[in-house]
Structure 1
Amino acid sequence: MTRLQPLRLHGYAVSNYFNIAHAALIETATPFELVTTRASQQAEFLAISPMGKIPLLHTPAGWIGETVAILGYIEDCLPIPTLHAADPFQRARERQVINVVQLYVEAPVRSLFPGVFMGANNSPVSVAAARITLDRAVVALRHLVAPGPFLMGPALSYADLFAFYCLDIAERVCGFVYRRSILAELGLQGWFAQMAQRDSTQTVLALFEDAFGQYLKEKNATYRFRPVGYRTRTPAIEQRPA
């Protein structure tokens, strides 16, 4: 299928899901424009994003929301698919990893955002519930991924993009709440460092660092963010204020 143009990616660089879509557009060499847009429940925004969420992709045919759908559209519009395995079984395995990362890593850590990034408090019940799901996800991912050098083998895939940006935020939350490193438990520090060196990552996370620091100030968050540029090390866990 011929790639459709122009594409405009709407969202906000604090969002790991927006960053996944941004990185995918870069990695597939798809021409696009970025439009800074915050999530909203206003009627005008709900008309184009029924859940009021970002990211959104504006295409010549209309609007697409939800990151999985956006990546599917990008891939379908490429003359030659680039970030999915050719083999149907391998593609299914990639999607399996994406689902595990979204539902059992990102979702539980997102439940803890209020007490980490938003100046509120997390209840002991929510902290304990998230820990149970995360523990199970770590066990599952140990079975599903084995960097070689990428998560699913020798080639970069959408599983790498989802995992990188979801594990990045999980590393921050888990370090702050539990004093644990999900990357270390998974043995993925080397993979993470390699992904951090990619041109797409450097571009995406430069915008993230600028936006995230301002976001934390707006929310009066207890989490303290120290920009590290993602050039020499993974996110530190010693970020609870003294």
Structure 2
Amino acid sequence: MLTLCGMPTSTFYNKVKLALLEKDIPFAEEYVPIYSTDAAVLSASPLGKIPFIRTEQGGLCESQAILEYLETAYPQKALIPADAFAAAKVRELTTFIDWHLDSVARETYGQAFFGGKLDEARLLPIRELLVKNIAGFKRLASFSPFVVGDSFSQADCSAFVTLPTVGMATKAVFGEDLLLAGGVDYKAYLKLIGERASATKVMADRRTSMTKA
């Protein structure tokens, strides 16, 4: 059985967890804090990043590499279309969400959620880049009704956990949800995905974890 390692408050952890649940893959969970220096952790995730998984063959880190492994090893309930171009479009948007939304907005998370404080001179370029990237995301995403077309995909695993986090963080730091300000009306989408059993489980476990913290 696979073991998913990390924290239920992590967006990338929940991205992988959504995929596991959607594909009905049996798995266990192991709580591992971010940047652990434990030797067993570093053997599976060399930088101590989460999430990572433990398999019979060994450890595997980086959320997108994990999703690609799951898609190949467990082809049931595919989260990538069979058509080559459609598959590439799913991977394109997943990469865009992870690198051009989450990674940029993540610089504000310390201030938004953990009591940190960023210098105003640093906040301005972050905001400008997010505004630019959100406009790009709007051009790529279809919300018809899923983020890429009419089927749940890997891109939804990223979008469902990332969009509300970016929205909350930007509202806390900049005084407005930059996604909504940029014309990305994602609330109905979150409601749609949130009604899926996988998403309900992920969010319930996240709330429980935050309560215990």
Aligned residue among 12, 17, 39 for 1:17: 12
Aligned residue among 5, 8, 13 for 2:3: 8
After TM superposition, give the deviation of residue 158 of structure 1 in Å. Answer: 0.5
**Corresponding residue of 1:239:** none
Change (3 A) 1:125 1:213: farther
Name the CA distance, whole Å, in 1 between partners of 2:179 and 2:189: 9
Map residues 47-196 of structure 1 onto 2, 5 A cutoff: 47-80=43-76, 82-184=78-180, 185-196=183-194
Percent identity (aligned): 25
Unaligned runs of 5+ in 1: 1-5, 216-242
Residues 27 and 200 of structure 1 are in contact (CA less than 8 Å); yes or no, is this contact kept in structure 2?
Answer: yes
Residues 113 and 173 of structure 1 are in contact (CA less than 8 Å); yes or no, is this contact kept in structure 2?
Answer: yes
- What is the CA RMSD across the aligned residues, in angstroms? 1.5
- TM-score using structure 2 length: 0.93
- TM-score using structure 1 length: 0.82
Residues 175 and 181 of structure 1 are in contact (CA less than 8 Å); yes or no, is this contact kept in structure 2?
Answer: yes
More helix by share: 2
Unaligned runs of 5+ in 2: none
Name the CA distance, whole Å, in 2 between partners of 1:209 and 1:148: 28
Give the number of aligned pairs. Answer: 210
Instruction: Report the residue type matching 1:74 in the other structure.
Output: L
Name the CA distance, whole Å, in 2 between partners of 1:80 and 1:25: 11
Name the CA distance, whole Å, in 2 between partners of 1:209 and 1:126: 31
Name the CA distance, whole Å, in 2 between partners of 1:10 and 1:43: 13
